[in-house]
Each structure stands twice: as structure tokens, then as C-alpha cells.
Amino acid sequence: MSKVIYRKFERHSHGEGIKGMSTHYCPGCGHGLAHKYLANAIEEAGVQERTVTVSPVGCSVFLFYYMDTGNTQAAHGRAPAVAVAHKLANPNAVVVAYQGDGDLGSIGIAEIISAAQQGIPITVIFINNAIYGMTGGQMAPTTLMAQKTSTSPHGRDRLMGEPMKIAELMAQLDGTVYVERVALFNSKERIKAQKAISKAIRLQVEGKGFAFVEVLAECPTHLHISPRETQKWVAEKMVPIFPLGVKKDVEKDPWFSLPAPNFDTQQMSKVIGASSEAEPRYAKGFPSHIAASDIAFKLAGSGGDGAQTAALLLTYAAIVEGFDATHIPSYGPESRGGTSYADVHIAKDEVLSPSAPSPHILIAFNTPSMVKFAPQVVAGGTVVYDSGVIKEIPKLNANVRAYGVPFTEIALSLGKAVVKNIVALGALQAATNLFPPETFLNAVRISLKEKCAMIPVNEEAFQRGVKSCQETGAKK
Amino acid sequence: MAPTKERPKPFLIPKYCKGCGRCIEACPQNCIMLGKDIQPETGLTPVILNLEKCTGCGMCIVACPEPYGLAPSPLKADYELTDPAAMFGPRASDAPEPKEIPDKTIPLPQLKPMVLKGTYASTIGALLAGCRHFFGYPITPSTEGAELMAKLLPDLNGVFMQAVSEVATINHMYGCGGAGLRSMTFTSSPGFSLMVEGISYMIGSEVPGLIVNVMRGGPGLGNIGPEQADIKLACQGLGHGNTHCIVFTPSTPQEMLDLTMLAFDLGFKYRNPVIILCDGYLGQMTGMVKLPDHMLQPGIPAWAVYGDNMHRRNLINSIILSEQDLEKHNEHLNQKYATIEANEQRADLFHCEDAEVLVIACNIPARMSKGAVQVLRSQGVKAGLFRPITLWPFPIKLLKPLLSHVNRLVVVEASNCQLENELRLALSHAGAGHVRIDHLQHYGGILPQQQEIVDTVKTKA
Ligand code: SF4
Ligand code: SF4
Ligand code: SF4
């Protein structure tokens, strides 16, 4: 008796009476054999201590009654997803997913195909007995044509589709290294089955890839014939549709290994981009000449105008100055080529409402944004806009000042259209004196610390925005 | 040539034979026959062995599906033919008693605040909390979190896996959490719907894991605007059966980080998944985030199926056949839920001490509400904001005492009464269902705005 099978089945009705040493399977069922060969294979490979067996939903849901390994019971069809995660959690574990035909070939078809294509080394044992056992004899994806089941009482017909040839399907997928279909109906086939299952475990232990064994098995109970007749039925009826043999056996070098997770604090700081250096502050205090304790901004343009980047720089600059700030972008399809707008708030203590339906300040990059948002700017507020693009100023609330600066033209004259949003920030600075120029420039430099070569042109763009705004002044 | 070993003949304890007859056709010497006597214990008819011609070829043993059916007989044995202990030896499982490998808290140097969007803050919180496994399926507006994970995890030797679906995602989390490790996903409403089956399995099997749901407009495909339309699902509908998870509702990027870290701790403390509900706005919103003074290197809990000998005894499972056992398991879950309800209710109270009207809101609508409360106070209205940070358990213990001076509640939400229903349920259980409740609701990606909230509080007074 393999030592990978529990000496007593404590989980089978608490191991009481005969159930402590007897399986829950019907006489003549194929599952017991497949379990036994699996246990033998695990023992042979010497990996019992690090094996995790994943039980499916189906008659073999109680595989964990028997296997003296780590055990996880998975939801219907999901054993491969669960098994892959076990392997990723502990690459040293040997993980086996054991599934029936309904579990693997029907409800779990997406999980098995993606796991097999991915090819992470796990072992899948697939029991094909052409019927649903646990739920009481319904049609399986592998039920034969004309076979009668409780949900194909007149026999499986064309409307129900042809039986699914899973092993052949698995062999097509790139991640599998070994696929074989075996059977249990005579001594010769049983010995081949044992060998195949052993090989499928070994390939995993060697880290070579995803190994798959389809086992044609007997379910006498739902075929309503004797165990011996069922073996004959598998041999004569199933084998012609599901030919036995090796479907794929490719030599691959061991490839699977994962490094141990890293918990080094320095690496962590680096990875998340955190630093302990304090940024310099330049502002003397909160810009309460704009609003007492909370300033709302809207930045709007088309997708490529850089409104979101400018909004983030603004947010960042304010936070570095010790204030609270938030940025909400418009997101999703509308940000793909359409209008893109951002709501920014800067607050002395805490931003309360982060949206900006009536901003104090608008930066508009194109005409639709100007038309839509400029009238929403509160009385006494400020509009900064691209005067090369926007030719008309809509009706504004009382005392709103509008500053036209040719963001795009200036950016083009610097040879970099993408810096127009930085020109806009320069114009914003000059128009509102929100923060000193250094506050913005510092934010720009930090955001470009990985692209240092870009810093001079951005600085230049900012200064040109400031200058142009000062020269043009506000239009009423 | 080595001397040929004598090959053992088979033996059988009849009560473990199911009479399937596989061994009969397997024997080339016809040593095995159908029996005639029914075993009283099983009602089955074991085979009969007549081993005179037996060569010890072992084919019958290979053919027997029963683990304690046909087995090689001990050579030169003087065994008692009906005693399994004598036959199979006394060996029980030699797996050791599992022990916990404890978590390690590692101090961090003082780091300056970061400027992060909500999903990024949650991502960084997860990394600091020791999560090195992410599983997910792209869905707007949650995907940036997954994308950042994909970018950062390799540098921490972590694993990012894009699953084939949300269904696979939650089952990856079931496997990884079952192995005792911290895993998470970002998703949004339609994806969350797909995950609830798996969440039920996680709860049933007591597997922790963090699901961050950046809620969007529904039903169906709806839109990607911010809603709070999954409160019902998260609080009352986590799949089939007796299920609950702690449900957090952050309202700032800072809370996205803090609550993500807390969620992992509580998830493992209670062996239960945890859900963070945030709306599309909060997922996308950038703000200041202060970093904690420590990070975590998780150990492995004693109950995990890690795939090593220490944890070999363990089982992650939610199928319990016996009615008595399943009732007991549910009582155990109920006890856990009661402990969580007693210990984990959280809320943020703003101007609640002397309030006569309380605005109740969570996520981003709570921020608009906070602004509104400030305006109302400046206008002389005694308003306060009660902001649940946990929706399950609902923080009724913090709300109930306020009802001595509050005569009206105004629920502000971006959903069709889902927050209000949680509130009403909690009030009703607490015997405080008499208080007047008004509401302001929006759907479809529109959030209640500050002025509207002010108006609602005033006009409905
Ligand atoms: S129903 Fe079929 S598959 Fe299930 S245990 Fe019985 S024989 Fe085996
Ligand atoms: S060991 Fe071989 S010869 Fe002996 S009973 Fe078994 S199958 Fe027959
Ligand atoms: S194969 Fe095993 S269970 Fe089946 S009849 Fe023979 S001894 Fe009994």
C-alpha cells in the first residue's frame, strides 16, 4: 500500500467503521485506480512531503479523504486555476489537479486551456468516463454519440455536439510537454496508465512543464451495466472515439523557477519611488488672494494636450508646499482622443469636495473646453487659454479675467509640441501668482528626473509662458 | 544473476473488497473467482482467492481500485487475516503538527509623503503589507492598479498574473491564499459580480485575500463612471450561503493605502477575504499619501496548504457532507462574524457631537458631504457627517449614541438606496428604526455635489 494514501480515512465519515479504510466509490469505478496510481507516482518520485493535491467537483471531490499530501478542494472547473496559484505561491511544491470530464471539459474549459497554454509545471489527471457521476448520470462533454444519459434520454445527437477530445486539444497547446491518453480496462492498459501518471509527476518535479494524462475510466453506475461490461464498453465504444496513446511528448529544458520574494526595505523604497529627502518649499503661505482656503481648478483640452500631466504637476507642487491637493482626471473612452479634463483642488488643510463644477481657475487648451467650462468659472476667477487655438471668448461671469497665451505656438517654436502644457503652467503662474515660479519648476524637475535631458526645454517653456502672459495681460 | 526474490502473493480482507471483479480478469492463472457470500458490513460480495497456482505476478493488485483491497501479503507472515493493523502496519500519517511561521514587522526609514492616485496608493499599501502575488483581469476603471503591480512586482520577486477571467482570478486567489500567502486583485463592478462565487468558496474554506472593487455604473455593462452600486453585493450578496466579509469604504488615497494594509492584517487575523469598495473617482483621484513607518514580511499560518511537510496535514475545503458538521461550521462562521461585528466597526465622525441632522455618506460622496456640512455649519445649521469606514460591519455602535440629539439622517449616495438599506438594516437590528431618513441619490456616473447636499439638507428639513 502506497504511503501516500492515508492509513485511515479520518475525513470519510470521521473514519468510522468500514469507511475508515474503504473508498466512497461504487464497485468498478475507475477513480480508485487513478488515485492509487497517482499515490504510487508521488511516492516513487519521493515528493509526498511537498505535494499539494487539488480535488475537483464531481465524484472525486473527496480525493482529499485519501491523499496524504496537502489538499485543496476547488470550485467546479477551477482546479487548474487553484493549482497554478499553489505552484506560484510555492514553486517547490508539486501540484496535482485531478478533474473529471464535466469539471474540466465543460464548466472549467477556460481554466484548463489557459493553464495548459501557460505551461507552468503542474500535473493534471483527467478522468473521462463519458458521463456526470456525482449529479447522477447526465450528459458530459465526452458522452458518445447516441449514448443515452439522463439529459440525453434519446441519445446524444448532433444538436448536442460531438464528444470532446480533450487530450488532442491539450496537445495543441504550447505549454504542454506531455499528453497521453490511457485506460484501465485490462492489465496492459493499467500498467501503461501507472507509467503515464508517474511520468507526468516526474516531468513536473524536473520543472519541465505542464503534463496531462487523460484516463478513460469506468462508471458502471450510470451506464447501468456491470463493472465487467463497463470495462468492455470503454474498450469497444470509447477507445475508437478517444484513441489511446501519447499525443505529445516534447523534450524541454527545465525552465521553471521563481526567486524568493524580496522584503528588503531599501529595495522597497526604490521600487515604490519613495524617498526620505524633503523637497524645498518656496511659497510664503497659502495663496488666499485666490480663495480663502480651497482653490478649484479645471484643466481641459483634447487627449494629447497634456492637461492631465499639468494637473498632476499642479497637485504635486501644492503638496510639496505643504498643502492638501487632489486631482481627478476624466478617464476611459473619452480620454482616448476626445476631450480630457481634470479637476484639481488645492486646500490649506483638507480638500473636501474634490470635483470642480465651478472652478476658480480654468486652463483651456481648445475651443470646446473653453466653450464648456469658461462660463462655469466663478466671479472674479481666472481663465488661461491657448490664444493660438481659441479665437473667441464665451460670456464670462463678473470680473473673470482671461489671459490668452499661444501655448502651442510657443511650444512649437521650442521644437517640442508636448511642452505646451508647461507653457500653460507658466502662464498660470504669471496670471495668478498661485505659487512662486520655483515651486512649479521644482515639480517639473522632479517629474523629469528619469529624463533629465528634457528638463531644459521644459524650463524654457515655463519661462516663455510666464513672459508671454505678462506681456499680453488680461482680456476682460 | 541476482537470486530471484520470492514474489509475494496477494491477500484480501474481504470487507474491503467491493466485488468489482477487475482482479478476476487480471489474473492469468484464474486464481480469483466471484464470491457467493454477501458481506454483512457492506452488502457487497467479495471475490474468493484460490492461490494454489498463483505466481505472485501482482496483476490482480494493480487491478484493484480499493486502497485496502488486494495487497501483497507479508512474506513469511504470521498474520491474523482480519486485522488491518497487523496487515497494513500501524502507520498513521507521519505528517507533523503544523506550526505557524510568524510575520515579521520591518521598520521603514522616515519617508516623505507621496502623491498617488487611489489605485496606486492601494497597490503600494499591498506591497508594504507583504503582498507579492497579484491576480487580475483588466477592467476600467480599476486597471491602473493592476498595471502598477505588473510594473513593480518583478522588482520585489513577486508574481503578477493576468488571469483568463475574473472567475479564474478569484480561484487563483483561493489557491494562493490557501497556500497561506497574501494575494489581491483590482476589479470593477461587472468583474466583481463574476467573483462572488469564488468569494463564497473562500469564506467557506476560510481563505484570506483582498478584493479591491473600483465601482462603476451599472447594471449590466453600464458605464465607467463612478457609482456605489455594489454595496448590496458586498454587504449582503457574497455568493451563496452564509457569507460575510469586512467591507471597507475609503474616501481618500491615504485611506486606500491604510485600509489596504489593514485589510491584509484583518483578513489573516480572521481567515476571511476582505473587500475594499471605492468608486471610480477615488480609484482615479490623486492626492497626498503618507507612508507608514513599517512594512511586513508575512510568515505562513499554521493552517495553510503551503506545499511543504510542515503543512501537509492541512486541508482547504468547503464541502462538508454531514448536516451536523456543516451546521457546526456555520456556527463557527457566525461566531467569527460576531467577533468582527464587535471589534471592527469603524467610522469617521465630523461635527457629530452636537448635530441635529447627520449626513451619512461614504467614498467620494462623503467628501462632497464634508464640504456641505461645513457650509451648513457656517449657515447655522447643526449638521454633521457620519462616514462609515466599514460598511460590513455597519458602524452602528458609533451611530446609535448620536441619535439622542440627532433627529434626522440624510443619506447621500451614488446608488439606488444601497447605502441607505445597510443603514436601515443596522438601525432596525439595533432597535433604532424610528429616526427620520431622507436621501439624495445619483446613478450612472454622476456624483452628488456639495451644493445639492446643502440644498437637500435644508429643503427637506
Ligand atoms: S457514479 Fe460513476 S464515477 Fe461516480 S463513483 Fe460511481 S462509478 Fe464512479
Ligand atoms: S498474483 Fe498474479 S497469479 Fe497470483 S492471484 Fe494475482 S494475478 Fe493471479
Ligand atoms: S479488484 Fe479489488 S475490489 Fe475488485 S473484486 Fe478484486 S479484490 Fe475486490
Apex B115 CA angle, B114 and B121, nearest 5: 80
- Residues of chain B neighbouring A319 (CB-CB closer than 8 A): 113, 115, 287-288
**Other CB atoms closer than 10 Å to residue B151's CB: what's the count?**
12
For residues B223-234, give the mean pLDDT. Answer: 94
- Residues of chain B neighbouring A21 (CB-CB closer than 8 A): 16, 67-68, 84
How many angstroms separate the Cα of A199 from the Cα of each of A82, A119, A125, A192, B65? 22, 16, 12, 10, 20
DSSP B391-407: EES--HHHHGGGGGT--
CATH domain B347-459 topology: Rossmann fold (3.40.50)
H-helix or E-strand containing A282?
A: none
Kindly determine whether residue B168 and residue A1, on different chains, have CB atoms separated by under 8 Å: no
Q: For a substitution probing ligand 3, which of B22, B24, B36, B37 has the most ligand atoms within 8 Å of its CB? A: B22
The burial class, CB within 10 Å (0-12 / 13-18 / 19+), for B29 is middle
Question: What does the CA dihedral B301, B302, B303, B309 come to, rounded to 10 degrees?
Answer: 110
CA nearest to B269, candidates B331, B343, B320, B328: B343
User: What whole-number distance in Å separates Cα of residue A288 and Cα of residue B381?
Assistant: 26
> Residues A400, A379: contact at Cβ < 8 Å?
yes
Quick: pLDDT tens for B248-281.
999 999 999 999 999 999 999 999 999 999 998 9
Question: In this predicted structure, what is the pLDDT of residue A143?
Answer: 98
B11-71 and B104-343: same fold?
Answer: no
Contacts of A63 (CB under 8 A, 6+ apart): A35, A53, A55, A56, A71, A98
Residue ranges of domains in chain A: 13-249, 294-475
Interface test with A, best of B44, B140, B285, B373 (most A CBs within 10 A): B285
Ligand nearest to the CA of B66: 3
Q: Which CATH architecture has domain A13-249?
A: 3-Layer(aba) Sandwich (3.40)
Contacts of B427 (CB under 8 A, 6+ apart): B396, B399, B433, B435
Question: In this predicted structure, what is the pLDDT of residue B76?
Answer: 53
> Residues A34, A217: contact at Cβ < 8 Å?
yes
Place of cell 471483479: B21
How many residue pairs bridge chain A and chain B with CB atoms within 8 Å of each other?
334
For residues B36-56, give the mean pLDDT. Answer: 94
Place of cell 451546521: B327
Where residue B108 falls among pLDDT bands split at 50, 70, 90?
Answer: very high
- Residue B2 above 60 pLDDT? no
Class of domain A294-475: alpha beta
Contacts of B106 (CB under 8 A, 6+ apart): A263, A265, B294, B295, B296, B297
Where residue B1 falls among pLDDT bands split at 50, 70, 90?
Answer: very low
Question: In this predicted structure, what is the pLDDT of residue B75?
Answer: 58
Of B84, B179, B371, nearest to A90 by CB-CB distance is B179
3-state SS assignment for residue B183: strand
Question: In this predicted structure, what is the pLDDT of residue B144?
Answer: 94
pLDDT > 90 in chain B, percent: 90
CA nearest to B268, candidates B395, B160, B394, B131: B131
> Residues A321, B292: contact at Cβ < 8 Å?
no
Ligand nearest to the CA of B10: 2
| Contact residues of ligand 2, CB 6 A cut-off | B 9-10, 26-27, 29, 31-32, 51, 54-60
Please state the CATH superfamily assignment of the domain spanning residues B104-343 in this structure.
Answer: Thiamin diphosphate (ThDP)-binding fold, Pyr/PP domains (3.40.50.970)
- Kindly state the DSSP code that residue B164 receives in the 8-state scheme: S
Question: In this predicted structure, what is the pLDDT of residue B5?
Answer: 63
Quick: pLDDT tens for A208-247.
999 999 999 999 999 999 999 999 999 999 999 999 999 9
pLDDT in tens, chain A (476 residues): 789 999 999 999 999 999 999 999 999 999 999 999 999 999 999 999 999 999 999 999 999 999 999 999 999 999 999 999 999 999 999 999 999 999 999 999 999 999 999 999 999 999 999 999 999 999 999 999 999 999 999 999 999 999 999 999 999 999 999 999 999 999 999 999 999 999 999 999 999 999 999 999 999 999 999 999 999 999 999 999 999 999 999 998 999 999 999 999 999 999 999 988 888 899 999 999 999 999 999 999 988 889 999 999 999 999 999 999 999 988 654 445 567 899 999 999 999 888 899 999 999 999 999 999 999 999 999 999 999 999 999 999 999 999 999 999 999 999 999 999 999 999 999 999 999 999 999 999 999 988 889 999 999 999 999 999 999 887 65
Residue numbers of B between 96 and 125 with CB closer than 8 Å to A? 104, 106-115, 117, 124
Kindly determine whether residue B286 and residue A274, on different chains, have CB atoms separated by under 8 Å: no
Residue ranges of domains in chain B: 11-71, 104-343, 347-459
Where residue B100 falls among pLDDT bands split at 50, 70, 90?
Answer: very high
- Residue B235 above 70 pLDDT? yes
CATH code of the region B11-71: 3.30.70.3270
- Ligand 1, residue A31: give the atom nearest the CA: 8
Contacts of A21 (CB under 8 A, 6+ apart): A8, A9, B16, B67, B68, B84
Where residue B186 falls among pLDDT bands split at 50, 70, 90?
Answer: very high
Take residue B444 and report the three cell numbers written for it: 450612472
Take residue A286 and report the three cell numbers written for it: 497659502
Ligand nearest to the CA of A187: 2
**Other CB atoms closer than 10 Å to residue B343's CB: what's the count?**
12
Question: In this predicted structure, what is the pLDDT of residue A197?
Answer: 98
Distance of alpha carbon A48 from its chain centroid, rounded? Answer: 32
